[in-house]
Amino acid sequence: MLFTNTYKKILSESNFQSKSKVSEFLAFTFKVINEQKIKGYLTQLKHDYSDATQHCYAYILHIDKNASRANDDCEPSNTAGKPILRQIQSLDLTNVLVVVIRYFVSPMLGVPGLIEAYGEATLGCLKVSGIIEKNTEECYQFSCDYGFENEIYRIGKQFDLDIKPMDNEEHFCAEIKIPLLLSTSFKK
Protein backbone atom coordinates (compact mmCIF):
# COMPACT_ATOMS: atom_id res chain seq x y z
CA MET A 1 0.00 0.00 0.00
CA LEU A 2 1.45 3.35 -1.09
CA PHE A 3 0.91 6.35 1.13
CA THR A 4 1.86 9.90 0.30
CA ASN A 5 2.47 12.80 2.64
CA THR A 6 -0.45 14.73 1.16
CA TYR A 7 -3.65 14.05 -0.74
CA LYS A 8 -6.23 16.20 -2.53
CA LYS A 9 -9.97 16.30 -2.02
CA ILE A 10 -12.82 18.62 -2.89
CA LEU A 11 -13.33 21.62 -0.63
CA SER A 12 -17.13 21.56 -0.83
CA GLU A 13 -19.93 19.65 -2.46
CA SER A 14 -21.42 21.40 -5.47
CA ASN A 15 -23.44 21.15 -8.65
CA PHE A 16 -22.98 22.42 -12.18
CA GLN A 17 -25.20 22.59 -15.24
CA SER A 18 -24.14 22.46 -18.88
CA LYS A 19 -25.67 21.85 -22.30
CA SER A 20 -24.38 20.08 -25.36
CA LYS A 21 -26.52 20.59 -28.46
CA VAL A 22 -29.91 20.10 -26.82
CA SER A 23 -28.99 17.60 -24.09
CA GLU A 24 -28.79 18.98 -20.56
CA PHE A 25 -26.17 17.74 -18.09
CA LEU A 26 -26.39 18.23 -14.32
CA ALA A 27 -23.19 17.36 -12.45
CA PHE A 28 -22.90 16.86 -8.69
CA THR A 29 -19.87 16.34 -6.46
CA PHE A 30 -19.96 14.68 -3.05
CA LYS A 31 -17.40 14.09 -0.31
CA VAL A 32 -17.38 10.35 0.36
CA ILE A 33 -15.38 7.94 2.50
CA ASN A 34 -17.09 4.62 1.75
CA GLU A 35 -19.31 2.83 -0.74
CA GLN A 36 -22.31 2.92 1.59
CA LYS A 37 -22.34 6.74 1.39
CA ILE A 38 -22.01 6.52 -2.40
CA LYS A 39 -25.03 4.21 -2.67
CA GLY A 40 -27.03 6.63 -0.56
CA TYR A 41 -26.22 9.61 -2.79
CA LEU A 42 -26.96 7.61 -5.95
CA THR A 43 -30.31 6.43 -4.58
CA GLN A 44 -31.27 9.97 -3.59
CA LEU A 45 -30.32 11.45 -6.98
CA LYS A 46 -32.18 8.72 -8.87
CA HIS A 47 -35.23 9.54 -6.76
CA ASP A 48 -34.89 13.33 -7.12
CA TYR A 49 -34.17 13.16 -10.87
CA SER A 50 -36.23 10.11 -11.79
CA ASP A 51 -37.23 11.68 -15.12
CA ALA A 52 -33.59 11.91 -16.30
CA THR A 53 -32.29 9.66 -19.06
CA GLN A 54 -28.98 8.70 -17.41
CA HIS A 55 -27.30 8.86 -13.99
CA CYS A 56 -23.62 8.25 -14.79
CA TYR A 57 -20.93 8.43 -12.15
CA ALA A 58 -17.39 7.74 -11.03
CA TYR A 59 -15.62 7.79 -7.70
CA ILE A 60 -12.22 7.31 -6.08
CA LEU A 61 -11.85 6.38 -2.41
CA HIS A 62 -9.03 6.28 0.16
CA ILE A 63 -5.74 8.11 0.42
CA ASP A 64 -3.99 5.42 -1.61
CA LYS A 65 -6.85 5.60 -4.18
CA ASN A 66 -7.27 1.82 -4.07
CA ALA A 67 -11.02 1.88 -4.74
CA SER A 68 -12.58 3.40 -7.82
CA ARG A 69 -15.44 2.79 -10.19
CA ALA A 70 -16.97 4.28 -13.31
CA ASN A 71 -20.53 3.64 -14.50
CA ASP A 72 -21.99 4.52 -17.92
CA ASP A 73 -25.66 3.83 -17.02
CA CYS A 74 -26.58 2.53 -20.50
CA GLU A 75 -24.58 5.14 -22.44
CA PRO A 76 -22.23 3.56 -25.02
CA SER A 77 -19.31 1.84 -23.29
CA ASN A 78 -16.67 4.22 -21.87
CA THR A 79 -18.45 7.40 -22.98
CA ALA A 80 -19.68 8.63 -19.59
CA GLY A 81 -18.19 6.94 -16.51
CA LYS A 82 -14.62 6.86 -17.85
CA PRO A 83 -14.56 10.56 -18.84
CA ILE A 84 -15.87 11.42 -15.37
CA LEU A 85 -13.21 9.22 -13.74
CA ARG A 86 -10.44 10.68 -15.94
CA GLN A 87 -11.30 14.20 -14.78
CA ILE A 88 -11.12 13.09 -11.12
CA GLN A 89 -7.77 11.41 -11.81
CA SER A 90 -6.39 14.38 -13.74
CA LEU A 91 -6.88 16.54 -10.64
CA ASP A 92 -5.40 13.80 -8.43
CA LEU A 93 -8.47 13.74 -6.16
CA THR A 94 -9.68 11.12 -3.73
CA ASN A 95 -12.74 10.57 -1.52
CA VAL A 96 -14.99 12.09 -4.17
CA LEU A 97 -18.07 10.99 -6.08
CA VAL A 98 -19.15 12.78 -9.24
CA VAL A 99 -22.58 12.05 -10.69
CA VAL A 100 -23.60 13.49 -14.05
CA ILE A 101 -27.30 13.33 -14.86
CA ARG A 102 -28.33 13.63 -18.49
CA TYR A 103 -31.62 14.76 -19.95
CA PHE A 104 -31.48 13.48 -23.53
CA VAL A 105 -33.14 15.24 -26.39
CA SER A 106 -32.16 14.37 -29.95
CA PRO A 107 -30.05 14.82 -32.02
CA MET A 108 -27.59 12.26 -30.76
CA LEU A 109 -24.18 13.51 -29.67
CA GLY A 110 -22.19 10.51 -30.89
CA VAL A 111 -19.32 8.89 -28.99
CA PRO A 112 -16.88 11.85 -29.17
CA GLY A 113 -19.67 14.26 -28.22
CA LEU A 114 -20.68 12.19 -25.19
CA ILE A 115 -17.08 11.86 -23.98
CA GLU A 116 -16.58 15.61 -24.29
CA ALA A 117 -19.92 16.53 -22.68
CA TYR A 118 -19.49 14.26 -19.64
CA GLY A 119 -15.87 15.39 -19.19
CA GLU A 120 -16.77 19.08 -19.41
CA ALA A 121 -19.68 18.77 -16.97
CA THR A 122 -17.42 16.95 -14.51
CA LEU A 123 -14.57 19.45 -14.78
CA GLY A 124 -16.98 22.37 -14.38
CA CYS A 125 -18.43 20.86 -11.23
CA LEU A 126 -15.04 20.02 -9.75
CA LYS A 127 -13.86 23.59 -10.34
CA VAL A 128 -16.93 24.92 -8.51
CA SER A 129 -16.21 22.51 -5.62
CA GLY A 130 -12.63 23.71 -5.22
CA ILE A 131 -9.69 21.54 -4.24
CA ILE A 132 -7.79 21.36 -0.98
CA GLU A 133 -4.56 19.55 -0.22
CA LYS A 134 -4.45 17.79 3.14
CA ASN A 135 -1.64 16.18 5.10
CA THR A 136 -1.82 12.44 5.48
CA GLU A 137 -2.01 11.76 9.21
CA GLU A 138 -1.53 8.96 11.67
CA CYS A 139 -3.75 8.93 14.73
CA TYR A 140 -2.53 8.01 18.21
CA GLN A 141 -4.25 7.76 21.56
CA PHE A 142 -2.32 8.43 24.74
CA SER A 143 -3.17 7.65 28.31
CA CYS A 144 -1.41 8.54 31.55
CA ASP A 145 -2.20 9.15 35.19
CA TYR A 146 -3.55 12.57 35.96
CA GLY A 147 -0.69 14.86 36.89
CA PHE A 148 1.48 13.67 33.98
CA GLU A 149 -0.60 15.13 31.14
CA ASN A 150 1.74 18.12 30.87
CA GLU A 151 4.30 15.78 29.28
CA ILE A 152 1.84 14.92 26.50
CA TYR A 153 1.11 18.61 25.92
CA ARG A 154 4.86 19.39 25.87
CA ILE A 155 5.48 16.81 23.14
CA GLY A 156 2.43 18.03 21.25
CA LYS A 157 3.68 21.61 21.37
CA GLN A 158 7.14 20.51 20.17
CA PHE A 159 5.57 19.06 17.01
CA ASP A 160 2.80 21.71 16.72
CA LEU A 161 0.09 19.04 17.08
CA ASP A 162 -3.55 19.37 17.97
CA ILE A 163 -4.29 17.38 21.14
CA LYS A 164 -7.90 16.40 21.76
CA PRO A 165 -8.58 15.28 25.35
CA MET A 166 -11.04 12.41 25.74
CA ASP A 167 -13.41 11.82 28.64
CA ASN A 168 -12.03 9.36 31.18
CA GLU A 169 -12.39 9.55 34.94
CA GLU A 170 -9.46 7.27 35.84
CA HIS A 171 -6.72 8.50 33.48
CA PHE A 172 -5.88 11.42 31.26
CA CYS A 173 -6.56 10.28 27.68
CA ALA A 174 -5.97 12.22 24.48
CA GLU A 175 -6.00 11.71 20.73
CA ILE A 176 -3.23 13.17 18.61
CA LYS A 177 -3.10 13.33 14.82
CA ILE A 178 0.40 13.49 13.39
CA PRO A 179 1.29 14.40 9.80
CA LEU A 180 2.86 11.35 8.16
CA LEU A 181 5.89 13.48 7.33
CA LEU A 182 6.60 13.92 11.08
CA SER A 183 5.66 10.45 12.31
CA THR A 184 9.18 8.98 12.33
CA SER A 185 10.57 11.89 14.35
CA PHE A 186 7.57 11.81 16.65
CA LYS A 187 7.98 8.09 17.36
CA LYS A 188 11.64 8.58 18.34
Q: Name all domains of the chain by residue range, CATH numbers in brackets.
A: 6-133 (3.30.230.30), 136-187 (3.30.70)
pLDDT at 94: 95
In the chain, % of residues over pLDDT 90: 55
Contact at 8 Å (CB) between 109 and 74?
no
For the chain, the average pLDDT equals: 89
Mean predicted confidence (pLDDT) in 39-47 = 97
The proportion of the chain whose per-residue pLDDT surpasses 70, expressed as a percent, equals 96
User: Average pLDDT in the 29-36 region?
Assistant: 96
Which range (24-33, 35-44, 156-165) has the least confidence?
156-165
Q: Which pTM value belongs to this model?
A: 0.78
Q: How far is CA 116 from CA 14, 25, 120, in A?
A: 20, 12, 6
Q: Radius of gyration of the chain from Cα atoms?
A: 22
Cβ–Cβ < 8 Å for 85, 58: yes
CB 149 within 8 A of CB 173: no
pLDDT in tens, 88-114: 999 999 999 999 999 987 666 788 889
The pLDDT of residue 1 is above 50:
no
Give the pLDDT band of residue 3 (cuts 50, 70, 90).
low
| Segment among 65-69, 121-125, 139-143 with least mean pLDDT | 139-143
* Residue spans of beta strands (DSSP E) within the chain: 6-10, 14-20, 23-31, 54-61, 67-71, 96-103, 131-135, 137-144, 163-166, 172-179
